[in-house]
């Protein structure tokens, strides 16, 4: 019993940092509507800046002073990031900004590597709080008790700020209608910068406060972001008490998970989140998001048309070049092209649901990796012939998408995105922790194609036919009645329902089709590489696909394919540099700022301006 | 007080305001009339810089507002009430008013919360209620009160009579006349000629983003062809 | 005349707040009936319950004598109820005619068809519907560039695609110029007469209501306070008090 209680206290202590980081994310999302992927980076910066400051400042005053200062320093950095990177793109289409924040992650990662080096830092102990107190005979670190005691004050301070001060009233008003707040004389640019800085400072405080318990390392950013999203979503977007309850829930559960179910620690919080969202779709204390409440930003999408003669000729020419490639290119270029084709199909499958359906999935890697694993498992454990195992990839991914989709489709917007993220993490943790089946991070190896397909040139043609075929099928569906119904459900769900369209059913079928195509890409991938590892199911993989869809242009049919080609090529050339993340991050940020409609969309606008064409219908 | 000089505004590729010029003088109530789609709302938004005119000038008390962000326009003394109300439904009446609060201005009437509650007694009863639990008429009153908290010198009211019950429309007309009596300058956009005539001193009629008439209602009465061509009553 | 729609004791409350409190009425075949009342009286809530967007707390809705209470919007649409929205809900990323084609694709049950090109399907039929509302010249323009009044007419065309027997129109003329209002309601009245459709609509413009509605109902604070002919409603003192007002302010001016 005493041990049980001590465990509980550890969980509560862990919740302090998590709550701080989560409340920051919630605050930023509420006001700016930006899903800030880089929030974990500010948490990591907080830890590193905190360590450095604590080395300079001595004693207890120095320790706590360093923590306070950390928030101010990181808040300042965040303010600069907001002004330089985000301010120019608030008017871009919704969620486009998350691409920029992804660029920020990469930049901060490499800057941290440059400044603090690759080695993990141990956090200093808090002066005067080094030992333990015994509670019911169990040792509990003094620092934990202090953290537990502090948390309610932090919650109260934030709650007071939001509900009782003018700043809080303005923040809540801006959450609802930021343009109107501006029209009433409030400088919303500074309000946004301020909120972004405050939210990031909260993350940094979280990073600094956990130093005596955890330390600082370069993986902190991605390690916490999953948990933070989970907390915000379980608590309900924009609800501080909700975030608090969820942070406690997740932290306590985690401590007990480590003790009693060590093989399931990664899955646990995502399972909890999935259960909460299924019962309460908008989180414990969240309220329903009304679509369109915040006003449509960006120009409306133009009607779609199949390519005209010129477009067809360009595509045909491109295909001919690709078909002729083995005659001129070396093996290295062929393999690179195979990678690009696989990624293009993967991105096109996400673009299909995101562009036409408005379904922003944060977990699309589940179907890519899921397809790859499905085929690999068959080959690895049962020696299934490659042809059969390969067919199983899209099939299994499609079924997985049907299952996951059935849960997720009930939600929309950010909640939908989060639930897909949760399910993909679930799939990932199964691959990672069910070592008996998947060999964990040792991966499944020796998954080679059938003899008749072995050889780079043959496999290249195999890839070319399937990837291009898949992309063309997706395009065809977009122009079919089904694709129109999908767009109808995105443009105006209530009109669609009022004309007899079962929007959820259409979306579910589309989700499954996207799963099949992602699984197909995964199937091609696993036999091209001969192996598969849990990295193919990671959040980073899902984000990759998201990034290229937005980079290419959501509102253009070719966006996913073009974005994938662009990113794969750039990444390929950059990875030979030492600080390639920094450069890639800057490239992404530059593209986002210079081409707010994505590469294809912006080129099209440019073309229209050059030729002076004023066509109301685009291709 | 306000002088709009040859502004051109676009919405996407559509040319909405075409070389539009007009003036509003201190202490008067001006009605901007015209059909739906004539450019009334765009005119209001162009003055507020919520839509940025591509050229021309919006001179307010001697300063050109074009290019300023909306908050600076508001701080200069322009109060804007949008046609779709846009109150903060999650905030209480008092909090809604707090968002609009700005320091007092020498050249404009000053409003306190209590004074506004005298003008809008319904709001006083519901000061702790959230915006979403209010009727449309009450919401309309709240947007006006919220904007008055900024102590504007010139109030822009976009279609105040649209979509509310006739009985509230009458109340709205009385309120506007009362505000005028307090020394406020007001510009309303309207489709309802009766309402405009009841509250305004002068009418400006626009069509296709161009000014077609500028004068008193008596003058308009003598040019029925203009009324028939552009107002279609 | 036969009864198309019958509503019995309809009620809707949200955590303590009663939006619609025991409303009963009926709409007969070929009838053009208006539902008026102050903002917040519960008109839209009523509409959303009739169309299945909201589930009533209590009460029943019958269409042609069969119960449709609590059914989903698309099920009610299948049974022959079309609707237009207060704030238009057309598909911004499609052309005008594609919006109508979409409705026809649904009408002909071709939604899950993967082979055809959607923009080739039912184009002629869609053009006929556009002609009904006089939008044929704008058929291939993107919906996003249409004027507001045209969008309202497009919605009407869309609602007609399934050959409804009852049309629910939520503030069909809101945001339109006076002449366009009259034209749209005249068009609606023609459709009622030619096709035998029944229409129930909400409206704030009293000129439109008194000029076109066969019968008028007045809703106030969630309850019906009048249901009758134009003259009966106009002279009802209760209606004047809560909704119509004295009209003195404008009448003096207008007749001055």
Residues in chain B: 233
Q: Do B71 and A169 touch (CB under 8 A)?
A: no
Q: Which CATH class is domain B2-230?
A: alpha beta
Q: Do C77 and A485 touch (CB under 8 A)?
A: no
CATH number at residue C233: 3.40.50.300
pLDDT over 50 (residue B195): yes
* C169 and C242 housed in the same domain: yes
Q: Render pLDDT for B79-95 as a digit per residue (tens, 0 to 9).
A: 999 988 889 988 999 99
Low-confidence ranges of chain A (pLDDT < 50): 291-298, 614-619
Interface test with C, best of B41, B122, B167 (most C CBs within 10 A): B167
* pLDDT attached to residue A496: 93
**Is residue A414, in this structure, part of any structural domain at all?**
yes
**Is residue A452, in this structure, part of any structural domain at all?**
yes
pLDDT, mean over chain B: 89
* pLDDT attached to residue A616: 45
**Is residue A600, in this structure, part of any structural domain at all?**
no
* pLDDT attached to residue C6: 94
**Is residue C35, in this structure, part of any structural domain at all?**
yes
Sheet architecture: strand order including B2-11: B14-24, B2-11, B55-60, B63-64
Of A514, A538, A562, the position where a domain reaches its end is A538
* pLDDT attached to residue A204: 97
Interface test with C, best of A290, A299, A307, A495 (most C CBs within 10 A): A495
Q: Which of C83, C102, C115 sits opposite A484 (nearest CB)?
A: C102
* pLDDT attached to residue A295: 38
Q: Do A172 and B88 touch (CB under 8 A)?
A: yes
* C75 and C174 housed in the same domain: yes
Q: Give the helix ranges, DSSP H, for A352-382.
A: 365-382
**Is residue A453, in this structure, part of any structural domain at all?**
yes
Q: What is the DSSP letter of B92?
A: B
In the beta sheet, which residues pair with residue C28?
C3
Q: Do B195 and C245 touch (CB under 8 A)?
A: no
Q: Render pLDDT for B132-147 as a digit per residue (tens, 0 to 9).
A: 777 778 888 999 999 9
Q: Which of A175, A182, A299 sits opposite B71 (nearest CB)?
A: A182
**Is residue A243, in this structure, part of any structural domain at all?**
no
Q: Render pLDDT for B105-132 as a digit per residue (tens, 0 to 9).
A: 888 889 999 999 998 888 888 888 888 7
Give the whole-number percent of chain B exceeding pLDDT 70. 98
Domain hosting A338: range is 333-538
Taking Cα atoms as reference points, which of C35, C43, C30 lies closest to residue C4?
C30
Give the whole-number percent of chain C exceeding pLDDT 90. 45
* C14 and C136 housed in the same domain: no
Sign of CA dihedral C115, C118, C119, C120: positive
β-pairing, B29-33 vs B202-207, is: parallel
A140 against B204, higher pLDDT: B204
Taking Cα atoms as reference points, which of A67, A114, A117 lies closest to residue A217?
A117
β-pairing, B154-158 vs B185-190, is: parallel
Interface of B with A (CB under 8 A): 12-13, 48, 50, 69-75, 80, 82, 86, 88-91, 95-96, 98-102, 146-147, 150
Measured between alpha carbons, how far is C165 from B49 in angstroms, rounded to an integer? 47
Number of structural domains in chain C: 2
Domain hosting C243: range is 3-90+165-255
Measured between alpha carbons, how far is A94 from C29 in angstroms, rounded to an integer? 46
pLDDT over 50 (residue C252): no
**Is residue A609, in this structure, part of any structural domain at all?**
no
Q: Render pLDDT for C125-167 as a digit per residue (tens, 0 to 9).
A: 999 999 998 899 999 999 888 877 788 899 999 999 999 999 9
* pLDDT attached to residue C247: 56
pLDDT over 60 (residue C253): no
* pLDDT attached to residue A294: 37
- Chain C residues with CB-CB distance to B162 below 8 A: 174-175
* C84 and C202 housed in the same domain: yes
* pLDDT attached to residue B13: 67
pLDDT, mean over chain C: 87
**Is residue A398, in this structure, part of any structural domain at all?**
yes
**Is residue C151, in this structure, part of any structural domain at all?**
no
Q: What is the mean pLDDT of residues C203-207?
A: 82
**Is residue C173, in this structure, part of any structural domain at all?**
yes
Q: Do C118 and A498 touch (CB under 8 A)?
A: no
* C235 and C139 housed in the same domain: no
Q: Render pLDDT for C226-250 as a digit per residue (tens, 0 to 9).
A: 899 988 888 888 888 877 776 554 5
* C12 and C138 housed in the same domain: no
Q: Render pLDDT for C95-114 as a digit per residue (tens, 0 to 9).
A: 999 999 999 999 999 999 89
* C114 and C233 housed in the same domain: no
Domain ranges of chain B: 2-230
Q: Render pLDDT for C8-57 as a digit per residue (tens, 0 to 9).
A: 999 988 777 788 888 999 999 999 999 988 777 888 889 889 988 889 99
Complex-level ipTM: 0.91
* Chain B residue at shortest CA distance from A295: B86
**Is residue C160, in this structure, part of any structural domain at all?**
no
Number of structural domains in chain A: 2
Closest Cα of chain C to B66: distance in Å? 26
Q: Which of A303, A306, A502 sits opposite C95 (nearest CB)?
A: A303
Of A488, A516, A538, the position where a domain reaches its end is A538
Is there a contact between B220 and B23 (Cβ–Cβ < 8 Å)?
Answer: no
Distances (CA, A) of A520 to A162, A382, A394, A470: 48, 20, 5, 8
């Amino acid at each position: 019993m005493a041990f049980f209680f001590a465990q509980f206290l550890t969980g509560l202590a862990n919740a302090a940092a998590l709550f701080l980081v989560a409340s920051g994310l919630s605050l930023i999302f509420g006001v700016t509507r930006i899903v800030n992927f880089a929030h974990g980076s500010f948490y990591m910066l907080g830890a590193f800046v905190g360590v450095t400051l604590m080395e300079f400042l001595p004693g207890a005053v120095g320790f706590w002073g360093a923590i306070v200062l950390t928030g101010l320093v990181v808040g300042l950095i965040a303010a600069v990031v907001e002004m330089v990177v985000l301010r120019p793109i608030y008017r871009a289409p919704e969620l486009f900004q998350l691409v920029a924040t992804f660029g920020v992650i990469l930049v901060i990662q490499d800057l941290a590597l440059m400044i603090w080096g690759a080695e993990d830092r141990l956090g200093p102990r808090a002066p005067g709080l080094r030992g333990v107190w015994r509670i019911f005979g169990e040792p509990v670190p003094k620092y934990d008790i202090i953290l537990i005691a502090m948390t309610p004050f932090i919650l109260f301070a934030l709650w007071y700020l939001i509900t009782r001060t003018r700043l809080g009233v303005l923040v809540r008003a801006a959450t609802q209608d930021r343009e109107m707040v501006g029209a009433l004389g409030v400088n919303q640019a500074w309000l946004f910068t301020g909120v972004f800085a405050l939210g990031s400072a909260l993350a940094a405080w979280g990073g600094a406060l956990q130093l005596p318990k955890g330390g600082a390392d370069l993986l902190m950013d991605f390690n916490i972001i999953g948990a933070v999203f989970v907390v915000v979503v379980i608590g309900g977007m924009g609800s501080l008490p909700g975030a608090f309850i969820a942070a406690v829930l997740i932290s306590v559960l985690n401590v007990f998970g480590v003790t009693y179910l060590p093989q399931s620690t990664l899955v646990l919080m995502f399972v909890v989140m999935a259960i909460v969202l299924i019962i309460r779709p908008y989180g414990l204390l969240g309220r329903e998001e009304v679509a369109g409440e915040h006003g449509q930003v960006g120009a409306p999408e133009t009607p779609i048309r199949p390519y005209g003669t010129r477009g067809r000729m360009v595509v045909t020419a491109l295909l001919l070049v690709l078909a002729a490639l083995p005659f001129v290119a070396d093996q290295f270029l062929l393999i690179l092209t195979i990678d690009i084709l696989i990624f293009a199909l993967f991105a096109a499958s996400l673009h299909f649901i995101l562009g036409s359906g408005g379904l922003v999935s944060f977990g699309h890697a589940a179907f890519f990796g899921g397809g790859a694993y499905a085929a690999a498992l068959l080959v690895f454990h049962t020696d299934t012939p490659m042809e059969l195992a390969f067919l199983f990839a899209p099939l299994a991914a499609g079924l997985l998408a049907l299952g996951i989709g059935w849960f997720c489709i009930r939600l929309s917007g950010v909640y939908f995105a989060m639930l897909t993220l949760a399910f993909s993490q679930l799939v990932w943790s199964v691959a990672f922790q069910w070592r008996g089946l998947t060999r964990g991070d040792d991966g499944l190896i020796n998954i080679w194609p059938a003899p008749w397909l072995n050889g780079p040139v043959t496999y290249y043609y195999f890839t070319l036919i399937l990837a291009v075929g898949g992309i063309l099928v997706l395009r065809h569906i977009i122009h079919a009645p089904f694709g129109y119904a999908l767009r109808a459900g995105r443009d105006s769900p209530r009109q669609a329902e009022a004309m007899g369209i079962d929007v959820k059913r259409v979306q579910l079928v589309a989700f499954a089709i996207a799963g099949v195509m992602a699984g197909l890409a995964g199937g091609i991938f696993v036999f091209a590489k001969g192996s598969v590892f849990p990295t193919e199911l990671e959040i980073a993989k899902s984000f990759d696909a998201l990034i290229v869809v937005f980079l290419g242009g959501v509102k253009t049919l070719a966006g996913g394919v073009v974005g994938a080609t662009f990113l794969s090529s750039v990444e390929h050339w950059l990875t030979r540099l030492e600080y390639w993340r920094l450069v890639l991050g800057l490239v992404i940020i530059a593209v986002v700022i210079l081409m707010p409609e994505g590469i294809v969309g912006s080129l099209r606008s440019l073309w229209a301006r050059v030729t002076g064409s004023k066509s109301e219908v685009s291709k | 007080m306000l002088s709009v000089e040859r502004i051109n505004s676009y919405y996407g590729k559509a040319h909405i305001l075409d070389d539009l010029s007009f003036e509003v003088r201190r202490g008067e109530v001006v009605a901007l009339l015209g059909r739906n789609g004539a450019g009334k709302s765009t005119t209001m938004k162009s003055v507020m810089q919520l839509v940025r005119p591509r050229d021309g000038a919006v001179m307010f008390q001697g300063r050109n507002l074009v290019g300023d962000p909306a908050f600076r326009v508001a701080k200069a003394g322009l109060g804007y009430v949008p046609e779709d109300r846009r109150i903060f439904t999650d905030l209480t009446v008092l909090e809604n008013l707090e968002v609009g609060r700005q320091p007092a201005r020498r050249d404009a009437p000053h409003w306190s919360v209590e004074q506004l509650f005298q003008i809008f007694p319904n709001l006083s009863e519901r000061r702790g209620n959230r915006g979403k639990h209010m009727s449309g008429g009450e919401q309309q009153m709240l947007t006006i009160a919220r904007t008055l908290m900024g102590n504007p010198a010139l109030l822009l009211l976009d279609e105040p009579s649209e979509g509310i019950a006739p009985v509230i429309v009458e109340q709205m007309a009385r309120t506007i006349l009362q505000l005028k009596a307090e020394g406020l300058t007001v510009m309303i956009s309207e489709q309802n000629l009766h309402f405009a005539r009841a509250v305004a001193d002068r009418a400006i009629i626009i069509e296709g983003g161009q000014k077609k008439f500028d004068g008193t209602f008596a003058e308009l009465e003598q040019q029925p062809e203009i009324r028939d061509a552009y107002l279609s009553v | 005349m036969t009864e198309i729609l019958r509503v019995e004791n309809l009620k809707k409350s949200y955590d303590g707040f009663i939006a619609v409190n025991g409303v009963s009425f009926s709409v007969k075949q070929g009838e053009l009936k208006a539902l008026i009342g102050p903002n917040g009286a519960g008109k839209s809530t009523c509409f959303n319950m009739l169309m299945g967007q909201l589930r009533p707390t209590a009460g029943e809705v019958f269409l042609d004598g069969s119960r449709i209470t609590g059914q989903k919007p698309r099920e009610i649409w299948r049974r022959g109820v079309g609707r237009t929205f207060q704030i238009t809900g057309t598909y911004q990323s499609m052309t005008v005619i594609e919006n109508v084609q979409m409705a026809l694709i649904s009408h002909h049950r071709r939604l899950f068809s993967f082979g055809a090109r959607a923009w080739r399907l039912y184009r002629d039929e869609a053009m006929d519907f556009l002609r009904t509302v006089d939008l044929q010249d704008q058929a291939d323009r993107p919906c996003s560039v249409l004027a507001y009044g045209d969008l309202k007419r497009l919605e009407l065309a869309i609602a007609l695609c399934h050959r409804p027997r009852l049309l629910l129109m939520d503030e069909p003329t809101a945001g339109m110029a006076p002449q366009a209002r009259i034209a749209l309601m005249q068009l609606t009245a023609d459709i009622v007469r030619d096709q035998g459709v029944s229409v129930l609509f909400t409206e704030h413009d009293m000129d439109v209501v008194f000029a076109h509605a066969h019968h008028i109902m007045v809703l106030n604070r969630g309850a019906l306070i009048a249901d009758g002919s134009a003259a009966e409603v106009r002279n009802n003192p209760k209606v004047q008090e809560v909704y119509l007002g004295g009209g003195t302010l404008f009448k003096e001016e207008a007749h001055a």
